[in-house]
Amino acid sequence: MKMKQNWINFLIDGAMFLAFLIATAPRLSGLTIHEWLSLSLAAAIITHLLLHWTWIISIGKRLFTKTTWRSRLNYLLNALLFVSFTVTIATGILISREALPLLGITMARDRTLEFLHHQASDITVLLLGLHVAIHWSWIMGMLRRIIPVRRASRSVAVSRQMEGANQ
């Protein structure tokens, strides 16, 4: 993958991570910001998936044939992450008190949905931790390019790693 693409991904991933952190603290942001920020996070996730489309297709194709167990595990993890994000955001939209009423839609309050929204967001935190962990070396590699390290040998190793990693 080209370096420029890596930077685009890095920026988007960083923004998503920040947005997610804020989304898990509605008390901090207030409900209005919570809802609109999370909705834009949903749009960012779609972008994130579009940018990794070749990975999704190519690994998906050989999921049951020729690939490593790590790769399968990662695929499963990404699938679960997608499910939990979808449930969190969908239940969020359904219990919305700021964004949806603006469109003229109000719904009866549903405790199950509210509870589901909390549970799903907790699970998402867990899965996102795993997602970040799996890409840790990529993230560190990118960070090292921003924060210069003294040892020259290290940055050479990092740039080699960047050429090889991710597809």
Distance of closest approach, residue 69 Cβ to another protein, in angstroms: 10
Among residues 2, 4, 103, 108, the one that binds another protein under rule CB under 8 A: 108
Amino acid letter, residue 135: H
The interface partner of residue 164, options being ligand HEM, another protein, none and the CB cut-off 5 to 8 Å by kind, is: another protein
66 is in the binding site of which of ligand HEM, another protein, none (Cβ under 5 to 8 A by kind)? another protein
Q: Quick one: what does residue 29 bind among ligand HEM, another protein, none, with the CB cut-off 5 to 8 Å set by partner type? A: another protein
CB–CB of 50/5 below 8 Å?
no
128 binds another protein (CB under 8 A): yes
Binding site for another protein (CB under 8 A): 20-22, 24-34, 46, 49-50, 53, 55, 59, 62, 66-68, 70-71, 74, 82-83, 86-87, 90-91, 97, 101, 106, 108-112, 114-116, 119, 125-126, 128-130, 132-134, 136-137, 160-161, 164-167
